[in-house]
């Protein structure tokens, strides 16, 4: 490794009792049989659960599909690799000769896997409470950005702003049907993007609520493409 891994531990805010766990977490499989693949497996599950719990607590009104999409965005390979780069994790990796020659220390897949492995190492070294604190600190800004994106603006407004920022035409809302009794009506509305031939549906006790539901469904579809 090019740099002292204790500097990485300091950046994470955790002092390892077992330095070998940290070193294993930073060892790619190309460097030998004792590598970070098992710790990566553990870290992947650990991050997924901690972020799922954080989203569940922050967004009590979000349904399972919305929570799953938010979690997927936060823990996808590109996001983990960006966090790893912020820690300069590539400087600490132990790679085999082939990966060194081809720039493996800067590759998204290797960085993301190594970050998962290092966090798995934190868990094995100090337990769940410490690992949770490290993960939450690491993801704090991204969780706050997720909160800011979803707070204060209704789905129709957020969809309009998303489309305008990309110079795309605004959606059309079509009433598909109105059912139920006069005093207890249910509106079914479609949200249509003409430039992409994409359509979602929503329902509610008023046209406005049905349009908001359809806009939310559209946001969930286009933001995670």
Residues labelled as active-site residues: 44, 116
Q: What secondary structure, in 3-state letters, does the chain show? A: CCCCHHHHHHHHCCCCCCHHHHHHHCECHHHCCCCCHHHHHHHHHHHHHHHHHHHHHHCCCCCHHHHHHHHHHHHCHHHHHHHHHHCCHHHHCECCHHHHHCCHHHCHHHHHHHHHHHHHHHHHHHCHHHHHHHHHHHCHHHHHHHHHHHCCCCHHHHHHHHHHHCCCCCCEEEEEEEEEECCEEEEEEEEEECCCCEEEEEEECCHHHHHHHHHHHHHHHHCCC
> How many whole angstroms separate alpha carbon 178 and alpha carbon 15?
62
Question: Could you tell me which residues are annotated as the binding site for Mg(2+)?
Answer: 40, 113, 116
């Amino acid at each position: 490794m090019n740099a002292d891994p204790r500097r990485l531990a300091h950046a994470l805010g955790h002092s390892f009792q077992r330095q070998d766990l940290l070193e294993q977490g930073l060892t790619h499989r190309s460097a030998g049989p004792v590598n970070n693949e098992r710790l990566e497996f553990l870290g992947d599950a650990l991050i997924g659960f901690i972020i799922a719990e954080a989203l569940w607590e922050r967004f009590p009104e979000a349904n399972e599909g919305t929570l799953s999409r938010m979690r997927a965005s936060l823990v996808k390979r590109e996001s983990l690799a960006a966090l790893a780069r912020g820690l300069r994790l590539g400087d600490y990796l132990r790679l085999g000769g082939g990966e060194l020659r081809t720039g493996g220390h800067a590759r998204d897949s290797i960085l993301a896997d190594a970050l998962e492995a290092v966090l798995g190492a934190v868990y094995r070294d100090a337990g769940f409470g410490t690992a949770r604190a490290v993960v939450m600190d690491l993801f704090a800004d991204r969780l706050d950005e997720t909160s800011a994106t979803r707070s204060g603006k209704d789905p129709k407004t957020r969809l309009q702003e998303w489309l305008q920022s990309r110079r795309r035409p605004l959606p059309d809302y079509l009433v598909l049907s109105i059912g139920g009794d006069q005093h207890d009506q249910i509106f079914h509305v479609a949200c249509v993007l003409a430039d992409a031939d994409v359509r979602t549906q929503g329902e509610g006790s008023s046209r406005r609520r049905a349009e908001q539901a359809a806009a939310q469904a559209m946001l969930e579809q286009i933001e995670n493409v």
